[in-house]
Amino acid sequence: MSGKYFNGVKTMGLFVLLWVVLLGVGSFVGGGQFIWIFAMLGLGGTIYGYWNSDKLAIRAMHARPVTEVEQPTMYRIVRELSAEANQPMPRLYVSPTAAPNAFATGRNPQNAAVCCTEGILQLLDERELRGVLGHELMHVYNRDILIGSVAAAFAGMITALAQMLFFFGGGGNNRDNPFGPFAMLAMLILAPIAASLIRMAISRTREYDADEDGASLTGDPLALASALRKLERGTQTRPLPPEPSLENVSHMMIANPFKGEGLANLFATHPPMDQRIGRLEEMARKNGQYF
């Protein structure tokens, strides 16, 4: 079984878990009669976030569109990779921040945008930048924006239902069930945590996919591995400030833009860098590439 197939199965399994948690919490709130209201609200939030993902992320990073005259290397790489993938050329942006990072967004390849920070453009050489841009383009081609939006909406619904359970005390036949109070308390505390962890696991799975697919697109997994090593050091030296607008788009970036310490790593949207680098190096070895 290929890594790509395994990650796809894992993503589907995680979505099933989100449904199980959602239905479990919903069954406690008013006997489950309000769960469809939350489902509709979640669907509306998903559609809005998915449709406007490019605008929200670009605005949060204060990015501006750049011309080919301003960023000839970035344009040349993205044009070549888009042609190799037989996909349209996305819009290109640069964010005026020293924190090294990059992200791609947009609801489909026809409405995609790729953004690099000034920090990453200064940090990486052309070969490493090509690896990063290949990774970001694959997020668009794999429809990861939609997947992330749906996972976020599910997690939001679960948290909202748990809060409703707390304020209104649930409902249904809990009084007739001797385990009702304990089950309700466990659901109240654990469901939002479980939803967040599952959402994070989905994001990590998509990062592994983008690493593998991006390295296949460029034909150079070692370039991306080298870039990730530099980004690990760079993001820890120059992290982004933990502002809400930036936290909402941090999962789109190629590297965790914040300093992760202690339990914060448990809820990180990105897999550990050493694991990502190890996978890419193993991919290079299988391809007969040595370093």
**Could you state, in order of their start, the residue ranges of all structural domains in the chain?**
3-286
Number of neighbouring beta carbons within 10 Å of residue 170: 21
Question: Average pLDDT in the 228-234 region?
Answer: 96
Residue with the bigger pLDDT between 174 and 186: it is 186
- Section 57-69 average pLDDT: 93
Percent of the chain with pLDDT over 90: 43
Q: Report the SS3 class of residue 290.
A: coil
Q: Is 262 left (phi over 0), alpha (psi -120 to 50) or beta?
A: left
pLDDT of 184 reads: 64
Q: Could you give the CA distance from residue 64 to residue 94 in angstroms, rounded to a whole number?
A: 6
- pLDDT at site 28: 66
- Catalytic residues, by residue number, are 136
d(Cα 276, Cα 190) in Å, to the nearest integer? 29
Backbone CA torsion sign across 258, 260, 266, 272: positive
**Is the pTM higher than 0.85?**
no
Banded model confidence at residue 242, pLDDT cuts 50, 70, 90: confident
Contact indicator for 215, 270 with CB cutoff of 8 Å: no
Q: What is the DSSP letter of 93?
A: E
pLDDT digits (tens, 9 = 90+) for 35-53: 666 667 666 666 766 676 6
- Residue-wise pLDDT for 101-122, tens only, equals 999 988 789 989 999 999 999 9
**How high is the pLDDT of residue 229?**
97
Higher-pLDDT residue of 153 and 249 is 249
